[in-house]
Structure 1
């Protein structure tokens, strides 16, 4: 095996275990497609390595698949009482770790239960996999009581007490920022603040990441040496909950330190690969987790393009040059991933990274010192006053940048493909393939055309106990929903031209153009007074009807032939907006495309 930069064995092994884990998840939906796709990738790898290395690669592939199958193989417990720890809490449900696996808890009404609590759960369990979150089952809780606190529970209590101490000195909002930066607990961050950071492209600054690990390690190393720095970094990993980004950063730091001590050459790609292998073996669902993917894609982009971009802008001042190179290189792979998975993108990250991140870096250092000296009132108060002043400056700069920002862009698969094509074409053109300039132009035209909807496009959204319908036609989009919270969540990820409530649509039909309109059926057409019957009519004749239950509409009451489409109800899986179905109306036909 060639052991150049991209040829270290660990890179192949990490890729194999990653593909194996994805294969196991895809196998449950389509065994044939998953198998064919995996075979193609393995065959491609086989052409670049020798027979002995291929056997090892295949072993890692099997390890990735086996660990995933084992993790998601849930069997309902014979005993009703199961002990676990609450690891996630939202307004709809809890998630507990039980015997090393995540279980969604529905129907927990004990106000004393919080994130980090040890609990005894009694209820009915059923297999309920949510692959990108690692949830294997769901429990309809009959009784949930607190168990005896342990070391981890006490860590959560210490976090809360630290927040309360900070809150007394600098107020709720500033204390929330410090706790998020230093302890990885963003539960106190307001939704408004979070949205502002998303717009500026630096939400990772308050979500514990490799950046925070690097700052803590570097600070302790300069002050106390590398041995204590490693211990401090490990403690930071434990305190912040061992998230994918911090595990990845700690492993890379550890490998770098060991390589230096042993007199060996450090390979960032091998270190990154080792961290990926550890995470996928211990948390098989990581391969489908957005946090895992964004962390690793960002680092891969930095390793591949940071120095090249920095050389390209060598005329700029060093600080500005480094910030631009780091920010842009991190976005090379994360930008298309965000477009595909979240349907959005952001170009404000350069200013955010350049101006706000250095300020927050100082807060991380001071906040860590405040945590250490929280038992010494005078020192603690002085540190809090320093952080308060810095955070006032941070808030001022943040508001200025928000006024200069471009907002969050609504993107999709084609936008991601276009971005990848432009980057690939640019690299190849630099190597002498000048004629490739026409390929991005062709894709730009195609993406522009795709944004214009020649037929009515309908997306049916579900958010816990609410639902809504997005209608896109020509260059306009309309969202129909009565839930203000759902509307607010949709606005975060999509550019919507018009919002319409059900009551407004019942009283007055909405015209999509001169002939085509949308309305709710009145009582003359329905068998009861339900309000979920959406009708599309052309030239005042109803031809397409969407219902939640086909029994709700009386076909004989409607003039003309038409189609009835029953909307899928799905499960109240979690709090995020989820597209349960997509449709296109072509003439008098409804075509379901998802």
Structure 2
């Protein structure tokens, strides 16, 4: 039933087809850039064949034109020519480089960066080196030899005002509370500490510190109640520019403007069409948004609210009205965004329901008061009065945060399997409603997938290292044992790795000559203390595997994995080494070594058969 209604809605709204066609065109160009022409052709051909069999010929021609437009738009965006003399605006300044805006593209500035300020527009002279990052719309690096400053304009003064307001907040409040106000009200997350960001993630309210549609709806409602529609739309646009004009706020602004303008010109407003139109405009301007996580999460959350909010509200009709509306809104926003999180971010706060129910109302007040304080930051009496109220609410928020963080577990780490299973579960539900009764067995298959995902059929060994910590993780069946050596400054690493691998037994800083029975067939032995590190030997089915750290030249660290009983052992296992989250991951599967020896020198793997 839901599938038929959705298809019927799409058929009557061609702009949805145009937007999807534009996205497919951009994906096709991306595949060409990445030298995956076959994949791009397969995706494009499949889409166009389905469209050809679905719509009228006149619509099909228009859809093909939007597909071609997407291909051209993506190519023009990333194939722009950069001269030796360019005009750029500095967006962010780091220690050794700057991120600048060049005709809507991101550019990494290096070289002579002395006295360059954020928000400033400069004329730079230097050399360009192409190095594209499609997710961020970055086209490469520009090495500056010299530069000339332009006259300071409005964008520069916006950056200055933000810094000035933050300093004024710090005079009245501590840095933590000031950072929260800057993040929640203006999207300036650089003022937040890592601990604060992690807390927002754990509580499932990370969207509060990145200005999004949630902020736009609050700001517009507050403005409209005072100034009316036309002035409110204008002031909302100024707020979008002031907060950086990211994808989520632009999407929300376009949808709000369409809704209010439709009321003025006596036209019907359709949420799906407005959402599609906003996506169409944004992708035309910045085609790299098809890979932008913030853009995708904003649109998927909004689409989930459009499709499921009313249905969930009917299901939860017994709850009080305010709780019902808040809960149905929170859950519907997660329907489509959660699988995407499984494929991309792979982190999810378990306490997102209570976090949104309890914290969102408080932070909504902070958003309004924070913007009022910005408007009156030159009038000390009003500014100090607003700050006094903000301090009370922020203290309340911190207390609620403390309680919720104590109640709920830490961040749940996800993988693509969870995302695939969730999609299959939803598709099975739709098929079952359409009359395919065999779809009722899909949840059984999903349960089996989860069991096999958490069950290690063949033992796995992970070696993970960072600057101040070192871990060896042994997975076998449903058991996961973690051995770790770390400095006191790296205690957070232990928690992070433990949760990521879901280890049920942690052995910290083991001493030499320590023996541990992991299961009936596996035993761990620690011996030969070396430079405050303890080497590990695993015995599995009478075969010995030694994890030994050896130091040769300065700054050269070698991990040596030896198989002492390697004669006549099938070489069918695989080993993987990846660098992620500032950790080096070394994985040995099936407890069989593909080569006699693996060496990890710095971050690069080397394999050889001869003995050291």
Q: Which secondary structure state, in structure 1, belongs to the residue aligned with residue 189 of structure 2?
A: coil
Mapped to 1, the partners of 2:110 and 2:300 lie a distance apart of: 34
**Residue of structure 1 aligned with 2:340, choices 337, 341, 345:** 337
- Mapped contact 2:574–2:593 kept (Cα < 8 A): no
Q: Which residue of 2 aligns with 1:44?
A: 50
Q: Which secondary structure state, in structure 1, belongs to the residue aligned with residue 305 of structure 2?
A: helix
Q: Which residue of 2 aligns with 1:64?
A: 70
Q: Does 1:510 align with 2:570?
A: no
Gap change, CA 1:342 and 1:505, over 3 Å in 2? farther
Structure (1 or 2) with the greater strand fraction: 2
Q: Which secondary structure state, in structure 2, belongs to the residue aligned with residue 509 of structure 1?
A: strand
Mapped to 2, the partners of 1:90 and 1:437 lie a distance apart of: 54
Mapped to 2, the partners of 1:272 and 1:86 lie a distance apart of: 31
Q: Which residue of 2 aligns with 1:159?
A: 162
- Mapped contact 1:201–1:348 kept (Cα < 8 A): yes
Gap change, CA 1:108 and 1:186, over 3 Å in 2? farther
Q: TM (normalized to structure 1)?
A: 0.84
Give the superposition deviation at 1:479.
Answer: 8.9
Give the superposition deviation at 1:487.
Answer: 4.0
Gap change, CA 1:199 and 1:566, over 3 Å in 2? closer
Gap change, CA 1:399 and 1:563, over 3 Å in 2? closer
Q: Does 1:138 align with 2:141?
A: yes
Of the structure 1 ranges 142-151 and 415-424, higher mean CA displacement relative to structure 2 is found in 142-151
- Mapped contact 1:506–1:520 kept (Cα < 8 A): no
Gap change, CA 1:18 and 1:97, over 3 Å in 2? same
Q: Does 1:99 align with 2:107?
A: no
Q: Which secondary structure state, in structure 1, belongs to the residue aligned with residue 10 of structure 2?
A: coil
**Residue of structure 2 aligned with 1:86, choices 76, 90, 93:** 90
Gap change, CA 1:190 and 1:530, over 3 Å in 2? closer
- Structure 2 residue runs of 5 or longer lacking an equivalent are 1-5, 510-528, 599-604, 606-612
Q: Which residue of 2 aligns with 1:26?
A: 31
Q: Does 1:17 align with 2:42?
A: no
Q: Does 1:476 align with 2:484?
A: no
Mapped to 2, the partners of 1:461 and 1:55 lie a distance apart of: 54
How many residue pairs get aligned? The number is: 564
**Residue of structure 2 aligned with 1:5, choices 9, 13, 16:** 9
Between Structure 1 and Structure 2, whose CA radius of gyration is higher? 2
Q: Describe how 1:224-303 pairs up with structure 2 within 5 A.
A: 224-303=227-306
Q: Which residue of 2 aligns with 1:201?
A: 204
Q: What CA deviation, in whole Å up to 9, does each residue of 1:316-367 have, x standing for no partner?
A: 1111111111111111111111111122233311101100000010111111
Q: Does 1:587 align with 2:612?
A: no
Of the structure 1 ranges 531-540 and 206-215, higher mean CA displacement relative to structure 2 is found in 531-540
Mapped to 2, the partners of 1:490 and 1:92 lie a distance apart of: 29
Q: Which residue of 1 aligns with 2:360?
A: 357
RMSD (CA atoms): 3.8
Q: TM (normalized to structure 2)?
A: 0.82
**Residue of structure 1 aligned with 2:410, choices 401, 407, 430:** 407
Mapped to 2, the partners of 1:543 and 1:159 lie a distance apart of: 68
Gap change, CA 1:394 and 1:276, over 3 Å in 2? same
Mapped to 1, the partners of 2:46 and 2:286 lie a distance apart of: 25
Asked which structure has the greater RCO (Cα within 8 Å, sep 6+), the reply is: 1
Q: What CA deviation, in whole Å up to 9, does each residue of 1:98-145 have, x standing for no partner?
A: 2332122356764x5454233454554321111111111123555678
Q: Which residue of 2 aligns with 1:549?
A: none
Mapped to 2, the partners of 1:212 and 1:318 lie a distance apart of: 22
Q: Which secondary structure state, in structure 2, belongs to the residue aligned with residue 316 of structure 1?
A: coil
Q: Describe how 1:505-584 pairs up with structure 2 within 5 A.
A: 507-514=533-540, 515-520=543-548, 522=550, 531-539=556-564, 584=589
Q: Which secondary structure state, in structure 2, belongs to the residue aligned with residue 266 of structure 1?
A: coil
- Mapped contact 2:179–2:191 kept (Cα < 8 A): yes
Q: Which secondary structure state, in structure 2, belongs to the residue aligned with residue 5 of structure 1?
A: helix
Q: Describe how 1:446-457 pairs up with structure 2 within 5 A.
A: 446-455=449-458
- Mapped contact 2:110–2:143 kept (Cα < 8 A): yes
- Mapped contact 2:469–2:484 kept (Cα < 8 A): no
Mapped to 2, the partners of 1:471 and 1:145 lie a distance apart of: 54
Mapped to 2, the partners of 1:162 and 1:543 lie a distance apart of: 71
Q: Which secondary structure state, in structure 2, belongs to the residue aligned with residue 476 of structure 1?
A: strand
- Mapped contact 2:577–2:584 kept (Cα < 8 A): no
Q: What CA deviation, in whole Å up to 9, does each residue of 1:428-462 have, x standing for no partner?
A: 44555554332122122122212333446578999
Gap change, CA 1:354 and 1:581, over 3 Å in 2? same
Q: Which residue of 2 aligns with 1:390?
A: 393
Q: Describe how 1:117-128 pairs up with structure 2 within 5 A.
A: 117-128=120-131
Q: Describe how 1:395-474 pairs up with structure 2 within 5 A.
A: 395-430=398-433, 433-455=436-458, 473-474=475-476
Mapped to 2, the partners of 1:409 and 1:577 lie a distance apart of: 19
Mapped to 2, the partners of 1:455 and 1:93 lie a distance apart of: 46
Q: Which residue of 1 aligns with 2:514?
A: none
Mapped to 2, the partners of 1:223 and 1:323 lie a distance apart of: 25
Gap change, CA 1:145 and 1:350, over 3 Å in 2? farther
Gap change, CA 1:136 and 1:587, over 3 Å in 2? same
Gap change, CA 1:43 and 1:454, over 3 Å in 2? same
Of the structure 1 ranges 482-491 and 291-300, higher mean CA displacement relative to structure 2 is found in 482-491
Mapped to 2, the partners of 1:94 and 1:583 lie a distance apart of: 40
Q: Which secondary structure state, in structure 2, belongs to the residue aligned with residue 308 of structure 1?
A: helix
Give the superposition deviation at 1:180.
Answer: 1.9
Gap change, CA 1:242 and 1:564, over 3 Å in 2? closer
- Mapped contact 1:86–1:115 kept (Cα < 8 A): yes
